[in-house]
Amino acid sequence: AIVPVILAGGQGTRLWPKSRSARPKQFIDLVGETSLFQQSLERVKDAGRYGAPIVITNAEYRFLVAEQAQERGIALGAILLEPVARNTAAAIAAAALVAVSQDENAVIHVLASDHLIPASAEYFGAVDNAALAARDGHLVTFGITPDRPETGYGYIAIGEALRHGAHKVGAFVEKPNLEKAEAMLAQGGFAWNSGMFMLPAKLFLAECERLAPEVYAAARGAVAGAKSDLDFIRLDEAAFAASPNISVDYAIFERTDKATVLPVSFEWSDLGAWDAVWKGQSRDAAGNAVTGPAMISNSTNSLVVTETAHVVVDGLDDVAVIATEDAVFVGRLSQAQNVGAIAKSLKADA
Ligand code: GDD
Ligand code: MG
């Protein structure tokens, strides 16, 4: 069985003020009746395909993880707690070490918890192909067909075809600037990195040790010194804190020659910022999307999200109005990427 590894330690600052440091985006009901974290759990619950999931998150979110899994009736294999945030390379390495300690030949499916992916036959077909390609000894990425020069994603040049629909990775470019992104889109033959991976855990760890030895050493020390606490496994703080703060994309995927890409065409979006939430929602004829007690008139291409306050928007275009109990954001929807920097600069509970 494939071992799911769910990354649930991100801060989600670009979705302020709905996403807060005490309750980041993956744990709130952003789209639909359940949180994106719960939707990620639902995607890995088929026992014919998957073993029990390993969730890795910040120690601060341990009760959110435990409660939200229980609410959906999903039993977790392990909840690993990071004492400090060190980004995805160290988190995946720690989870891979735990998976290998249980099964030397484990294949792990690393999932982000901020993606909107409708469960479809196409999606699960891709998962199964990726697992076969991983068994062939590859670090498998899922390649999404790009439709705009997005600079918030990684780009993968699709190389020579291998078995099971996988291809060699010609090059992996994490978060290019706009000029580079436009050039890759114009050239063709590139896919977006979905942020999901299918990895033979042992191979991943060997590459991590070779390409990012400080990350590997930190994860090893953190798992070796880990302490059980109720249902949680607390990684050793001193060891884990010594890891560089680096994402798996920069630490491993830009450098390894073991990566392959599986081009896929299932529906996928990274709900990174408010413009993506707007795109992922049903909109009226004028392009407006509204959640909560709001009214919008004489306006186009706008998003209003409000919890309890009545919000009225009149005569505005391209605006995002996000109202929570104690904070309101108003800005241009097309500039939604700015919100992360703004939220980080706010001292109070951003
Ligand atoms: N456990 C843990 N610890 N999880 C983390 C941490 C951490 O320190 N930091 C981030 N995560 C989780 C987030 O919650 C999210 O589910 C996932 O890891 C990915 O992190 P993001 O911060 O959302 O990455 P990104 O969106 O900027 O970039 C990645 O995803 C893109 C597609 O969505 C990259 O893999 C890109 O190449 C890719 O295109
Ligand atoms: Mg993301």
In short, whether 8's Cβ falls inside 6 Å of ligand 1 is: yes
Report how far ligand 1's centroid is from the alpha carbon of 12 (Å): 9
Give residue 124's pLDDT: 97
Cα angle 237-242-246, degrees, rounded to a multiple of 5 = 115
Residue 297, judged by CB atoms within 10 A of its CB (0-12, 13-18, 19+), counts as: exposed
Cα angle 199-202-207, degrees, rounded to a multiple of 5 = 80
In short, whether 174's Cβ falls inside 6 Å of ligand 1 is: yes
CA pair distance 293, 211, nearest whole angstrom:
51
Residue closest by Cα to atom 27 of ligand 1? 152
- Maximum alpha-carbon separation in the chain: 61
φ and ψ of 280, to 5 deg: -80, 0
- The ligand placed nearest to the CA atom of residue 195 is 1
Report how far ligand 1's centroid is from the alpha carbon of 175 (Å): 12
Give residue 12's pLDDT: 87
The helix/strand/coil state of 62 is: helix
In short, whether 249's Cβ falls inside 6 Å of ligand 1 is: yes
Measured from the CA of 85, which atom of ligand 1 is nearest? 8
Residue 230 has pLDDT above 90, yes or no: no
Contacts 24+ apart (CB under 8 A), 222-226: 222/90, 222/94, 223/94, 223/97, 223/98, 223/101, 226/80
Measured from the CA of 10, which atom of ligand 1 is nearest? 14
Give residue 108's pLDDT: 98
pLDDT (mean) for 49-56: 97
- The ligand placed nearest to the CA atom of residue 35 is 1
In short, whether 112's Cβ falls inside 6 Å of ligand 1 is: yes
Cα–Cα nearest to 40, from 172, 194, 174 = 194
Per the rule left: phi > 0, alpha: psi between -120 and 50, beta: everything else, 323 is beta
Using alpha carbons, list the distances in angstroms from residue 186 to 148, 171, 183, 224: 10, 16, 5, 48
pLDDT (mean) for 225-237: 95
- Say whether the ipTM exceeds 0.95: yes
Kindly indicate the confidence band of residue 347, based on its pLDDT and cuts at 50, 70 and 90: low
Residue 67 has pLDDT above 90, yes or no: yes
Place of tokens 């990775």: 169
In a mutational test of the pocket of ligand 1, which residue from 114, 223, 339 has the highest number of ligand atoms less than 8 Å from its CB?
Answer: 114
Residue 349 has pLDDT above 60, yes or no: no
In short, whether 19's Cβ falls inside 6 Å of ligand 1 is: no
In short, whether 82's Cβ falls inside 6 Å of ligand 1 is: yes
